[in-house]
Structure 1
Amino acid sequence: MNLMHLRGKWKLLFTVTALLVLPALLVGCGKKDSSKAKGYTPKKLTVEFVPSSNAGTIEAKAKPLEGLLKKELGIPVKVSVSTDYNTIVEAMGSKKVDVGYLPPDAYVLAHKQYGDKVLLQAQRFGIKEPNDENTKKLVDYYRAQILVRADSGIKSIKDLKGKKIAVQDTTSTAGWVYPAVEMLDHGVNINKNGIKTVQVKGHDQGVLSVYNKNTDAAFVFQGARKLVMNDQKDIMKKVVPIYTTAKIPNDTITVRGDMSAKWQKKIASAFKDIAKTKKGHDIISSVYSHEGYTDSKDSNFDIIRKYDKEAAKLDK
């Protein structure tokens, strides 16, 4: 009986101890998971742009953002320019870049591959023809155009068969995806029909390739001719659009996928506040013609995913 009684006491002691220890273990696990859920907190913020025109020029214009962002965020900031769209997507995926100024197609790729998160979309003044004139209305979209020389005799998409076209990287929404897909809708496949493509770096280079007769046409964003107006005063007369695409969601400010919710909010607020200052507005306007930023969400880019599926048909 004494032995049985002793065993009963040990069982009771074990049970009580287990009940006391279990909550502590659960709390410990909860703390670990909670800490993990907080996400990445930057000690130094790296911000990278993509080159819509001369990369060196963009970097010089964008560099002053370092000081403005440091003042808003309270940590050191480094601003640089990527060589192309794919490079910045990979840099964000490998955690070398925290914030990317990504065009819509590059954002969709970054979100799909690495779970990167869109914070903001740029606002620009709308553009109308002729001569890429600005409207007074701020919009969160832009369009792509196909440009040719006015004296080329090329009047429509069908006239591009057998011609040479300057394009951007295949992840460029305005410099490839939208014009190529809408050409296909008009019965012309850029990968077939005797068309030769020449990849150039920057939409200004696309405009100049047509102006200098190096190519017959170019895919650019609407308004790209303004990039070269200071050097080529007659650009609006010599180079003209033959086609303008549907609306494209504006450029994004995107952060790496593991960025903490707290820092996502801080970064979004910083860019919006900076854009409202004279110095900040001058910077973003000179770099990308941005006038300000508005909150964004992933579903805004479902239209890009639709176009990407259509673009896949180009090789069939």
Structure 2
Amino acid sequence: MRIHAPWLGSLTGLLVGLAVACGRGGGREEGPAYVRRPVQEFVFAVHPLHNPERLAAVYGPIIDRLNAQNPGLTFRFEASHDYAAFERKLAERRVHFALPNPYQTLRCRAQGYRIFGKMGDDDHFRGILLVRRDSGIQAIEDLRGRSISYPAPTALAATMMPQYFLQTRGLDVARETKSLYVRTQESVIMNVYLKLTDAGATWPVPWMAFCKDHPEEAKALVVRWQTESLPNNGLVVRDDVPEPVLHRVEQVLFSLHEDAEGRQALARIPLSRFEPATDRTYAPVQTFLKQFEARVHPLNMEERP
């Protein structure tokens, strides 16, 4: 008689499997084997908006939120001491996600990164020029023969935009001023305060932070000029990051402004929100760079986006 027992083959296979298992290791009893999936780690780097310590304090809560809302994934924050170090990380594809300035945002596409978002509040993305209140510097022509501190040649809001502003208002930046690149935004401000330079170029975010943290020192300085604005800092992702991971990052970043904890994290920057962006968002930056090359100085091949 033929018995229809679909479970019989499974039972037979189980018994055979047990016999084989018992035959290994001289009959030593072994428990079931579990395969653990390794936790995926993604590095998130932010360009030197501040010194590394302050940068970690400002962006740490956002990285903590990414980790809390994405079990199975680990996001590690990475700061850089200066613009050159940050740009090397992008060129060598050592980070998965990054928050570069708009100029760097366009450049890193050649290294295999793509734009997926940006900081909001575009009105904050402008250059400002600081002088001491007791400097006697009132007009642009007063800067002739003077020294100006900048964070780095590739700082868009804090270097390139102020240099273009001065150049297009009759001051030959290369011939009539002395440019000092002092690595960070805080260093720019302190160089002016300590009278190491006659003026300094930065942008509103670090200046607002300085005014909050050092109100007495800030009283000695004044914003003498400011430039027009451009689209704010970008969010980019390396082209080999899985799409589901990018989607989870977008969900967290683009919804921070929707609850009290997220708004508190944004306020540290300070920023009202992150928002989606594409290459087209940064078309005005591309236009500005062409104007900069025509009026200030050409960018070399390594610097061109």
TM-score bracket, normalised by the shorter chain, equals 0.7 to 0.9
Distance 1:93 1:225, change over 3 A: closer
1:65 and 1:79 in contact (8 A); partners too: no
- Matches of residues 181-260 of structure 1 in structure 2 within 5 Å? 181-193=164-176, 195-260=177-242
Provide the aligned length of Structure 1 versus Structure 2. Answer: 258
Q: Are positions 1:175 and 2:158 aligned together? A: yes
Which secondary structure does the structure 2 equivalent of 1:191 belong to?
helix
Deviation at 1:305, TM superposition (A): 1.8
Counterparts of 1:95 and 1:308 in 2: how far apart (Å)? Answer: 24
Per-residue Cα deviation, 1:118-137 (whole angstroms, up to 9, x for no partner): 2112124xxxxxxxxxxxxx
Counterparts of 1:104 and 1:178 in 2: how far apart (Å)? Answer: 12
- Matches of residues 131-142 of structure 1 in structure 2 within 5 Å? 139=122, 142=125
Q: 2:52 aligns with which of 43, 55, 68?
A: 55
- What are structure 1's unaligned runs of at least 5 residues? 1-41, 125-138
Counterparts of 2:58 and 2:129 in 1: how far apart (Å)? Answer: 28
Distance 1:246 1:277, change over 3 A: same
- Stretch deviating more after TM superposition (289-298 or 269-278): 269-278
Aligned partner letter, 1:214: L
Q: Calculate the TM-score normalised by the size of structure 1.
A: 0.74
Q: 2:286 maps to what in 1? A: 305
Q: 2:148 aligns with which of 165, 175, 181?
A: 165
Deviation at 1:283, TM superposition (A): 2.8
Deviation at 1:83, TM superposition (A): 2.2
Which secondary structure does the structure 1 equivalent of 2:104 belong to?
helix
Per-residue Cα deviation, 1:98-119 (whole angstroms, up to 9, x for no partner): 01111111111112x2242121
Q: Are positions 1:114 and 2:134 aligned together? A: no
Counterparts of 1:291 and 1:54 in 2: how far apart (Å)? Answer: 22
Aligned partner letter, 1:44: E
Distance 1:106 1:230, change over 3 A: same
Deviation at 1:171, TM superposition (A): 1.3
Q: 2:275 maps to what in 1? A: 294
Deviation at 1:140, TM superposition (A): 6.1
Aligned partner letter, 2:271: H
Deviation at 1:63, TM superposition (A): 2.8
1:225 and 1:235 in contact (8 A); partners too: no
Counterparts of 2:213 and 2:160 in 1: how far apart (Å)? Answer: 29
Which secondary structure does the structure 1 equivalent of 2:136 belong to?
coil
- Stretch deviating more after TM superposition (266-275 or 230-239): 230-239
Q: Calculate the TM-score normalised by the size of structure 2.
A: 0.76
1:88 and 1:100 in contact (8 A); partners too: no
Q: 1:264 maps to what in 2? A: 246
Q: 2:261 maps to what in 1? A: 279
Which secondary structure does the structure 1 equivalent of 2:175 belong to?
coil
Q: Are positions 1:145 and 2:145 aligned together? A: no
Deviation at 1:274, TM superposition (A): 3.7
1:51 and 1:82 in contact (8 A); partners too: yes
Aligned partner letter, 1:99: F
Counterparts of 1:96 and 1:146 in 2: how far apart (Å)? Answer: 34
Per-residue Cα deviation, 1:51-106 (whole angstroms, up to 9, x for no partner): 22221122134334333112323301111212233433332342320011111111
Aligned partner letter, 2:247: K
Q: 1:83 maps to what in 2? A: 81
1:102 and 1:253 in contact (8 A); partners too: yes
Deviation at 1:298, TM superposition (A): 1.0
Counterparts of 2:96 and 2:284 in 1: how far apart (Å)? Answer: 26
2:51 and 2:81 in contact (8 A); partners too: no
Distance 1:92 1:43, change over 3 A: farther
Deviation at 1:183, TM superposition (A): 1.2
Distance 1:227 1:64, change over 3 A: closer
Counterparts of 2:63 and 2:230 in 1: how far apart (Å)? Answer: 29
Q: 2:41 maps to what in 1? A: 44
Counterparts of 1:93 and 1:259 in 2: how far apart (Å)? Answer: 16
